[in-house]
Amino acid sequence: MRRYNALAAIVCAFLSFVLLETVAAQSDWEKALQAGRAEGKITIAIPPSASLRKELEPLLKQKFGIAAELIVSRGADSAAKIASELRAGVRSTDVIIQGTTTAMSLQDEGMLDAIPIYMILPEVRDPKYWWGGHIWNDNLKTNRFLYSFVANAGTEGLFYNTEVAKAEELRSFDDLLNPKWKGKIGLNDPRVGGSGISLWSFMWDVKGEDYLRKLVQQDLFLSRNLRQVAEALAKSKLAVTIGLGHSEYEPFIKAGLPVRELPRPKEGLPASSGYGVLGIIKEPPHKAATIVFVNWFLSKEGQEFYARVMEQATRRLDVDTKWMTQVGVEAAKDTMTLAEYHRVRNHLEDKVINVRRPAAKFAEQILK
């Protein structure tokens, strides 16, 4: 009986602790909501997606009474703008959602706030809701400035024009060296942060520098203007492009133009975080609105929204991602083990330092 009473006391104490923690979190959330509405605004740098901009602005206004100013551009441009403003003492941006390289450029300069202090809702803070637990982009440090919330089994980045090329003609990276494609290959410039460096660095890792030298001799259509590259493929001026994702091709696909993603080449593709890295700019000008946004965005509802609009595979376990195979996206949590994911991923800080940055340095040497 004494043992039973002792056990009952422990259980009651634990439940009381959980209840108090839940009440405290709810109280903090209500305070953040009230203060966020008072601020009335948040500025977020987002990936170049017309759909995301169109849907996110009215949603935040209707749901929270917060007007969203969305900076829509490629990651490198967003990072450069934010860094320039901060150096000048100007704080206008609160949150950035981009890819690995972009986010890390701000982290390296000490321009981000630690994210855990902003995570107040239990369903956001508790790692049990996330495949692999909490995965931080800055995985070599004890500080946690960048949250990796997307895990795609394969990198987007190889698209082709169905009127110029056939998918079976492009089953290997080696097929890109066929003289037939000379002058017909578009490349998102890997010398700057963004999706271009993702596939370039993977090729550097698995095919080597001699391969990339031969690829460059194919008279690549090299540009940092993603719209320009995507439009050239959509208009059949190019056969295939490297380093552009679904968001760049979204308007052309919806318009019925002959643009499709290539099947995975025989060399494979790296697991990717896509446009799935969240960062909070240091001392955000709208801190309460930032707390509201971050907790909503990383909640089940927020991740369902982002997964649907961006077709990116969230790591949240309570969000269905199996439907994404219909649009050519495989969620890592649905198709591989966590160990396999960490073996083939091409992102997080360790891979940036050991693969991406050396590959980018090589690109600077051979791309003129």
What pLDDT is stored for residue 10 in this prediction? 47
Q: Is residue 350 part of a domain?
A: no
What pLDDT is stored for residue 131 in this prediction? 98
Domain range for residue 11?
2-152+273-336
Identify the CA nearest to 348 among candidates 136, 156, 145: 136
Does 134 lie in the same domain as 63? yes
Q: Which residues does residue 160 pair with via DSSP β-bridges, in sequence order?
A: 240, 260
What pLDDT is stored for residue 15 in this prediction? 37
Does 240 lie in the same domain as 295? no
CATH number of the domain at 199, please.
3.40.190.10
Does 139 lie in the same domain as 9? yes
What pLDDT is stored for residue 6 in this prediction? 52
3-class state of residue 318 by DSSP: coil
What pLDDT is stored for residue 50 in this prediction? 87
Q: Is residue 347 part of a domain?
A: no
Does 163 lie in the same domain as 199? yes
Does 133 lie in the same domain as 9? yes
Q: Is residue 167 part of a domain?
A: yes
Q: Is residue 344 part of a domain?
A: no
Q: Is residue 345 part of a domain?
A: no
Q: Is residue 291 part of a domain?
A: yes
Q: Is residue 128 part of a domain?
A: yes
Identify the CA nearest to 176 among candidates 48, 360, 184, 191: 184
Does 221 lie in the same domain as 98? no
Does 310 lie in the same domain as 324? yes
Does 217 lie in the same domain as 144? no
- Report residues of the chain scoring pLDDT below 50: 8-23
The count of structural domains within the chain is 2
What is the enclosing helix (H) or strand (E) of 41?
A: strand 41-46
CA–CA gap between residue 181 and residue 159 (Å, rounded): 14
Q: Is residue 239 part of a domain?
A: yes
Does 163 lie in the same domain as 147? no
| The CA-based dihedral angle spanning residues 226, 229, 234, 236, taken in that order and rounded to the nearest 10 degrees | 180
Which contacts of 349-356 are long-range, i.e. CB under 8 A and separated by 24 or more positions?
Answer: 349/104, 349/137, 349/138, 349/139, 349/140, 349/141, 350/139, 350/140, 352/100, 352/101, 352/104, 353/140, 355/201, 355/202, 355/204, 355/205, 356/100, 356/101, 356/197, 356/198, 356/201
pTM: 0.77
Does 229 lie in the same domain as 126? no
Does 361 lie in the same domain as 292? no
Does 117 lie in the same domain as 15? yes
What pLDDT is stored for residue 320 in this prediction? 98
